[in-house]
Amino acid sequence: MAGLRVIMSGVREKLEAVLNVALRVPSIMVLEMLYRWDVSSFFQQIQSRNNNNLLFQYKYLALNLHYVGYIISLVLLTLPRQHLVQLYLYVLTALLLYAGHQISRDFVRSEIAFGHDGPVYEEPLSLNRFTTALIGQLVVCTLCSFVMKTKQIWLFSAHLLPLLARFCMVPVEMLIIINRFAMIFTGLEVLYFLASNLLVPYKLAKLAYKELVQVVEVYGLLALGMSLWNQLVVPVLFMVFWLVLFALQIYSYFSTRDHPTSRERLLFLFLTSIAECCSTPYSLLGLMFTISFITLGVLTLCKFYLQGYGAFMNDNLMHRGMTEGITLLILAVQTGLIELQVVHRAFLLSIILFIVVASILQSMLEIADPIVLALGASRNKSLWKHFRAVSLCLFLLVFPAYMAYMISQFFQMDFWLLIIISSSVLTSLQVLGTLFIYILFMVEEFSKEPMENLDDVIYYVNGTYRLLEFLVALCVVAYGVAETILGEWTWMGSSIIFVHSYFNVWLRAQLGWKSFLLRRDAANKINSLPTATKEQLEEHNDICSICYQDMHSAVITPCSHFFHSACLKKWLYVQETCPFCHQQLKSQGQQVGATTVQGPGEQLPHNETRATQELVGQVDVPAGNDSVLALHSEDGLVEQKALNTDCSSLGNPGTGEHRCEQNGSQAGKIEFSHPAELCEDEDQQLSNTVEFQ
């Protein structure tokens, strides 16, 4: 029982969501019609045809009604769902009453035409008409009482009077008068209902104003806008509106055509229908949201194809389709799309749609690129996953190139088409680089030894694509600036050039330069570090702590840690510290006199200590001593690091000094004095400079 209630609750929520969208679409349709209707041109056409100045006098009245229609449509659009449902129920009741009176009028006309004044049951045809009309009127009355949620069915039974009069054998000529009386009575009922609810719109407006003021005072205008956006479900609402408009346009075309349409004609019909459905700001917004949802569906299918159901765990905000929709809107506004004729609008719209398709392909590549590279680097053995990733990359390699070829064949080349072609070619080149890196990963997986310069190869491949992308963006900016200076200057065009210059040129240049500097600094640091000899590697006899692979070659950090040079270089791209002990890795000039960051009780591995001693030319320390690390300094002193020290209570209580004993395997105990507070913290590193004789 509880499960059934949950299911019914879910169905009810879905139904309410559908009604919330469907009941608002007519309001946008009315706004669309009002925007397309030019009142001045309409009255000028009437005056030129009829030469009637009286109609032209009603022009200003029609203009006022035009603005009133805008206001009413906007009010209905923003009306809460429960009030909107109630309003549609009232409208449905009025339509049912009108249908009931139409049934009565048709019955009266048929009876007058038949001319039978006797009882209806004596004539089969008359009885059939009477029965049909009676059933229809009873259905209308029942539906009206159900919609208005009242049991007073007589309130909706005025249209039954002609039937009742005919059953009582009233003369046929009197049926017309009775039918008119029934219509007048129903009209009076409607007027009484409207008069009794005359103040309802004022009360609703007053209540809505109070709520809006409270929301603005507490949460602000942004919260109010987000609340209205979610309540009206604006993206879905405009998408449904545009799809309805497009379906009506297609239906009107095919309903007036008797012969079949060729394939080329269908393509032209498709473009012109889309062009007809983006001639106003409302339909243009509808097209934008429709493109956004189509893009979202394509990208969702792409992620599902690559990762299955796991693709829906981590949603990327950049892959929700809004980028492509906003791109279409910006290009349409910049080029003045809605002001063009249908044929020119269809041609310009085809170019804009090509740009949107190129953006969708780029978004698909942004989804596929990390997945493909992760499969190559993670040594995943699933052939099906590899097949899906590689097949999608092959599609993204071939389709943009084919699209660029078709554009160059069927369109006359200009700058915008050149941008589309260059973007498509760049997408194919980036896919080619991704596949090349994927192949390198797979080759490294099946090879016995890792590739030393793999990271550099990857950097050069990605850097080449980024450089080409930067040059294309720079050309776009240069052309836009030239067109703005030499051509027609607009705020919209200048704003778009500024945004494009900042995000696609300046930020990309900064990112590329920063990446170059990081790699250069990392390479300099790696080159400044000494390379471990064969004897040091054999004595170290350990793996690289970054990649966990055996080391046949390595570099040694100032803190005496061994790493692969390629692994350490990748680490230095992220931060300039040792991956093992997090000590700052300084340049070669700063390494003289550098100390290791090591706490008391923390013992360096034997091979690392020995390697460091041999590296800097230190005092000869016995092979078994892992506690003493002595480094030469310029003044003949060495800095003694006390590792594994035992602080005793010996010392001078008056001076507050302690004496620490450090055990050596062959050198015996070394004692040195230091302040007592240094021993209070167990993590405090103990050091004292002493002179060896």
Mean pLDDT to the nearest integer, 388-408: 90
pLDDT tens-digit series, residues 166-183:
888 888 888 889 989 999
Tell me how crowded residue 30 is: count the other CB atoms within 10 A of its CB: 17
Q: Are residues 194 and 63 both part of a single domain?
A: yes
Q: Are residues 98 and 81 both part of a single domain?
A: yes
Look at residues 370, 234, 355, 373 and name the one whose alpha carbon lies nearest to residue 295: 355
At which residue do the structure tokens 């919330």 appear? 20
Do the beta carbons of residue 54 and residue 43 sit within 8 Å?
A: no
Query: Which range is most confident: 442-456, 528-542, 663-677, 679-693?
Result: 528-542
Per-residue model confidence (pLDDT) at position 596: 40
State yes or no: pLDDT of 291 exceeds 90.
yes
Q: Are residues 4 and 88 both part of a single domain?
A: yes
At which residue do the structure tokens 């980028």 appear? 323
List the catalytic residues. Answer: 544
Q: Are residues 384 and 430 both part of a single domain?
A: yes
Long-range CB contacts for residues 674-683, cutoff 8 Å, separation at least 24: 676/651, 679/647, 682/600, 682/601, 683/599, 683/600
Q: CA 85, 86, 89, 94 torsion: positive or negative? A: negative
Q: Are residues 306 and 394 both part of a single domain?
A: yes
Q: Are residues 146 and 13 both part of a single domain?
A: yes
CA–CA distance, 435 with 441 (Å, rounded to integer): 10
Tell me how crowded residue 186 is: count the other CB atoms within 10 A of its CB: 20
CA–CA distance, 458 with 450 (Å, rounded to integer): 14
At which residue do the structure tokens 């000494």 appear? 530
Q: Are residues 218 and 360 both part of a single domain?
A: no
Q: Are residues 123 and 246 both part of a single domain?
A: no
Looking at the structure of the chain, the number of domains it has is 3
Per-residue model confidence (pLDDT) at position 95: 92
Whether the full predicted model's pTM is greater than 0.75, yes or no, is no
CA angle, residues 57, 64, 21, in degrees to nearest 5: 140
% residues pLDDT > 70 (the chain): 74
Q: Are residues 68 and 4 both part of a single domain?
A: yes
Q: Are residues 249 and 282 both part of a single domain?
A: yes
Q: Are residues 85 and 157 both part of a single domain?
A: yes
CA–CA distance, 302 with 403 (Å, rounded to integer): 19
Q: Are strands 555-556 and 645-648 parallel, antiparallel or unpaired?
A: unpaired
pLDDT tens-digit series, residues 119-149:
877 888 888 888 999 999 899 999 999 988 8
Q: Are residues 226 and 240 both part of a single domain?
A: no
Last residue of a domain, one of 200, 230, 260: 230
Q: Is 585 part of a structural domain of the chain? A: no
- Domain coverage including residue 537: 529-573
CATH number, position 550:
3.30.40.10
pLDDT tens-digit series, residues 296-310:
999 989 988 988 877
Per-residue model confidence (pLDDT) at position 288: 93
Residue type, 309: Y
